Structure 1
Amino acid sequence: MLRDLVKNVKLRARVLERADEFNLNRIAGEDVWFRELLLCILTANSSFIGAYQALQTIIGDVLYLDEERISRALQHSGYRFYRLKAKYIFNAVRYYGKIRATIFPIAEKDQLEAREHLLELKGIGMKEASHFLRNVGYFDLAIIDRHILNFISYYINLPNSLTKRKYIYLESVLRSISKSFNIEVGLLDLFIWYEETKMIVK
């Protein structure tokens, strides 16, 4: 299944085009990095489309909103976990202006270390940190979401819970698979996501 997807010339071209967009984010300013961070916070345990729509309702004013107003805006957008994510987003606002300056020099040297720094933020786990780094142009980390887990279940038995240690193990498996297809592991999920949704956004 995946082999056919990766060999699909048109699809591979679209994935590489999306990768170019991520690379442009890499050299973008703090506003773009902050937006991508909020998107990844909102995407956790929610659909990408729902998270994106929720982000649009707050992104213009989020630096000036208190936690309650962020919560109400998310609720109005139809977002499910509006109270919890409002708390995480309000906390993230404190780091506006520092995110790119802090993470960029680390990620340029060591993407794993950059992910560790991101894990210090509330609402950011292994998947969200990997997703964020991929969206700002770093492709050596796996985004292990339910689509990826469904895919990898064809190859190995999945653990009952996804601890950090197990995430790193599954990431190593995915990295081996991606190398066999000559693609970077951070882009692997785009092929799988396309198979399930027929879209390449994320």
Structure 2
Amino acid sequence: MAEVESLLLMYASKKEDIAKRLQEFELKKYAPDEEIFAELVFCILTPQTRASQANKALSELQNGLLFKGSEKEIAEVLAKNGIRFHNRKAKYIIKARELFSRGNKIKIKSMLNTDDPKGLRAWLASNVLGLGYKEASHFLRNIGYGKDLAILDRHILSELLKLKIISKMPKSLSKSKYLEIEQKLTAFAAKLKLSLAELDALLWSEHGSLPIDALR
């Protein structure tokens, strides 16, 4: 299959960069609670919003509002930075802050059962407003626990369609549909002898012709 051969050649040329970026994500698991929570907020912000805009908004929130700001103050920052559904996402951030706070401190790490990433993903998708399976997978990848999880955004799905791993673009992704596609992608990754995280990074880079170090 020409597409697969092309993909393997592309991987060979980017292997070191992919390994380096995934190692950087891996090291995040040792970051303090505040950093882990900030990654969660980033993943709440990204749906239907560019990563660069989400990153800019998050950086501004980290100047004092992320842990102390009101819903209104947070919404204003999100709106200013072009975050879609800024009012809704501000509410999600406040709810997440309440969920992961103990006293006046964020204690997110002690609440995450990282021994079971797939179970943790399901828990996050059920308990954190604004996180579906895609966003929860994204968050876990970004903090070093997503090696075997698929991040099925529209860019990745477009690449899967080209590779004939899926026959059509899904109109929506229910939990069952997400897991069905993830299973197909897992089998494809195994044939290539890659982890899902490695394959995701490769497909992401291939879709946008972007350098691996821009993966966020």
TM-score by length of 2: 0.86
Secondary structure of the residue aligned to 2:194 is coil
Q: Is the 8 A contact 1:6 1:191 kept in 2?
A: no
Unmatched 5+ stretches in structure 2 = none
TM-score by length of 1: 0.91
Aligned length: 199
Alignment of 1:125-136 (within 5 A): 125-136=132-143
Q: Which of 79, 95, 100 is the equivalent residue of 1:75?
A: 79
1: CA distance between counterparts of 2:50 and 2:122?
A: 25
Q: Name 1:63's counterpart in structure 2.
A: 67
* Two-structure CA RMSD over aligned residues (Å): 1.6
Secondary structure of the residue aligned to 1:18 is helix
Identity of aligned residues (%): 35
Secondary structure of the residue aligned to 1:78 is coil
Q: Which of 116, 121, 132 is the equivalent residue of 2:122?
A: 116
Q: Name 1:174's counterpart in structure 2.
A: 185
Alignment of 1:47-58 (within 5 A): 47-58=50-61
Q: Is the 8 A contact 2:75 2:90 kept in 1?
A: yes
Residue identity matched to 1:44: P
Q: Is the 8 A contact 1:25 1:137 kept in 2?
A: yes
Q: Name 1:98's counterpart in structure 2.
A: 107
What's the offset of the Cα at 1:60? 2.6
Find runs of 4+ consecutive structure 1 residues off by over 6 angstroms.
Answer: none
Unmatched 5+ stretches in structure 1 = none
2: CA distance between counterparts of 1:6 and 1:180?
A: 11
Q: Is the 8 A contact 1:33 1:99 kept in 2?
A: yes
What's the offset of the Cα at 1:195? 1.5
- 1:50-102 residue CA offsets vs partner (Å, 9 max, x unmatched): 21112111123211100000000111222232111111111111114232111
Q: Is the 8 A contact 1:22 1:137 kept in 2?
A: yes
Q: Name 1:157's counterpart in structure 2.
A: 167
What's the offset of the Cα at 1:178? 1.2
Q: Is the 8 A contact 2:92 2:130 kept in 1?
A: yes
